[in-house]
Amino acid sequence: MKDDNKYGVNITSPQPPSPRGKSQNLPLIAIILLICSFILFFSSCEDWLDVNKDPNNPDEANEQLAISSGISSVAYVYGGKYQVLGALWSQHWTQSLGASQYSGLDSYDINSSTFDNRQYGELFTGALKNLEYVRTLSFEKQNWGYYLIATVMQCYTFQLLADLYDDIPFSEALKGEDNVTNPHFEKGEDIYDSLIVRLDFALSRDFEAETAEEIGSEDLLFEGNIERWKQFANTLKLKIYLRQVYKNPEISKTGIENLYQNPDVKFLTTDAAMTQFVNETGRANPLYETEVRFLNNPNLILSYTLYSLLSDNGDLERLNAMFDFPEAGGGHKSLIQGNYNDPDEPTGTNSSSYSKPVFIPAAPVYLMSASEAYFLQSEAIVRFGTKSYSTARELYQKGIEASFLRLLYPYGYSESQITGIAEDFYGPGDPYTFPVEGSPVEEFIKTIIIQKWVSLAGIQSLETFFEHNRTHYPGESQVPASDEGNYVPGEFTISVNNVTSGRFPKRLMYPESEYSANINTPEKKEVYEKIWWDVKTE
């Protein structure tokens, strides 16, 4: 199948995506980006900004600086090494031949040193600590807008950590001023319950109170648009309920029904994304900084798992937007997951012979994309009947359209062209069509999650890793990808060089620094041991 597109738009020389109305010349943001870029190589934003040293001294700390620092800390971790982790374990990308930078991750050969304080520690001592400072100060001053932003970002980060590690420090995690030097670890399931309580409390505040302060550019996601933050909070609640649907079906059902019964509840229809990156050293997208500017030659290439589904369905516009053609020429070339020591490849073959992910310096970091929000809503409806079948189908289709729009708009496609392309994939008889009304629920879930896996590739790959472990979609192949006669395009295959005896990864291990610093750190778990909500058997 040809690797071209029927509209003739140049898709090999992308322009940076438009920030859609956000200013690129804000001094506060520039300072935050420059400082937080050091997270990539050194320690936390909190160490540089020292925003928690003396909350009573406005010369040293304020809500504006701390909220920007907290948001950017999460963005740099989630959009950096966690994106690489998710893309490898979700089989969007794989380690290239002739290199070994990510071979440990790709073969599931990880230990307590694999992800250290540049990720785990940064989220606790940088992001969560700064956000807790904002929550505390804004609660005292009844600045409920700041309180909502800090709470949503904190809950988002705590869920991320709980989904990666299960048990984590929570209620005692940010109590250093109270000399809690060895915070206890709490179960992920209990933390989930607490996150809902925190979000509900933050959403219930009086945002029109006279004491509220105006919020502007320090809010790196929505520039003070509190309605968007309410939508983000509600969509995060929806994700929390759906994540545990197989473990706690009644909790999920009751929580989701309550959301839909409240006429004031609205969900995200736009991206929750940090867009202030520019093509300057220290201010670019974190993946671009590490994989292109720092390493010069990314050792990541297109996984055959993703390629097989996109090419089999003729989804070439998205494939071409996500991956550059090989430098050596020819059409797209992918590698079977984890096959970086392929003996059949010529000696010296490296990533120049394969399709590489597109890295753009000004690309946003998506904490929650519009596609994800639409797919979450569609799943909730087909599971619990909270709205009509036609609404679930429309939301599913919007999730696909949002993916095409994000990928193709920067390359010069018009919105009408993009809508037409998307409709060619989800219409009746098309490869991504929604199941007919009355189909088994799991058929709907499979369709939704596979499209989420495609639509979030390269921007929220870690989220698709969690969703695969939750739902087992895409399916896990019973034959190797090299078995062309029996392999189903898009099904996960165990990494060729796996060290887990054929078991897929499920979690990260606590960093060694946590064992050294906290006597309450739980015993080490294996990478293939499940997180608490991962209970689906079929």
Q: List per-residue pLDDT tens for the chain, 538 residues long.
A: 334 443 334 454 343 333 333 333 444 555 455 445 444 433 334 333 333 334 334 344 588 999 999 999 999 999 999 999 999 999 999 999 988 899 999 999 998 888 876 899 999 999 999 999 999 999 999 999 999 999 999 999 999 999 999 999 999 998 766 656 899 999 999 999 999 999 999 999 998 876 667 899 999 999 999 999 999 999 999 999 999 999 999 999 999 999 999 999 999 999 999 999 999 988 999 999 988 888 777 899 999 999 999 999 999 999 999 999 998 888 999 999 999 998 776 655 567 889 999 999 999 999 999 999 999 999 999 999 999 999 999 999 999 999 999 999 999 999 999 999 999 999 999 999 999 999 999 999 999 999 999 999 999 999 999 999 999 999 999 999 999 899 999 999 999 999 999 999 999 999 998 998 899 999 999 999 999 999 999 7
Closest CA to 85 of 111, 113, 70, 104: 104
Give the span between the Cα atoms of 88 and 76, in whole angstroms. Answer: 18
Give the span between the Cα atoms of 438 and 423, in whole angstroms. Answer: 22
Closest CA to 153 of 70, 237, 214, 46: 70
Asked if the bond preceding 505 is cis, omega within 30° of 0, the reply is no
- Determine how many CB atoms are found less than 10 A away from the CB of residue 124: 22
Q: Is the dihedral of CA 1, 426, 375, 491 positive or negative?
A: negative
CA angle 94, 73, 173 (to 5 degrees): 105
pTM to 2 decimals? Answer: 0.91
Give the span between the Cα atoms of 182 and 164, in whole angstroms. Answer: 20
Give the start-end residues of each E strand in 325-428: 356-357, 365-368
SS3 510: coil
DSSP string, 207-253: TT-TTPPP--TT-TTTTT-HHHHHHHHHHHHHHHHHHTTTT-HHHHH
Alpha carbon dihedral 8, 14, 16, 19, in 10-degree steps, equals: 30
First to last CA, the chain: 34
Q: Which two tokens stand for residue 229?
A: 């933050």
Q: Is the dihedral of CA 283, 285, 286, 292 positive or negative?
A: negative
Give the span between the Cα atoms of 510 and 514, in whole angstroms. Answer: 7
Give the span between the Cα atoms of 536 and 538, in whole angstroms. Answer: 6
Closest CA to 274 of 76, 116, 46: 76
Residue reference for tokens 């090989």:
326
Q: Report how far Cα 131 is from the mean position of its chain's Cα atoms.
A: 19
Residue reference for tokens 């997208």:
285
Amino acid making up residue 137: L
The pairing of strands 323-324 and 168-169 is unpaired
Closest CA to 359 of 442, 433, 298: 298
- Enumerate the H helices of 79-187 as residue ranges: 81-89, 103-106, 129-141, 144-165
**CATH class of the domain defined by 27-339+354-369+456-517:** mainly alpha
Show me where the domains of the chain are located: 27-339+354-369+456-517
Q: Which residues pair with 93 in a beta bridge?
A: 302
Q: Which two tokens stand for residue 342?
A: 């392929």
SS3 274: strand
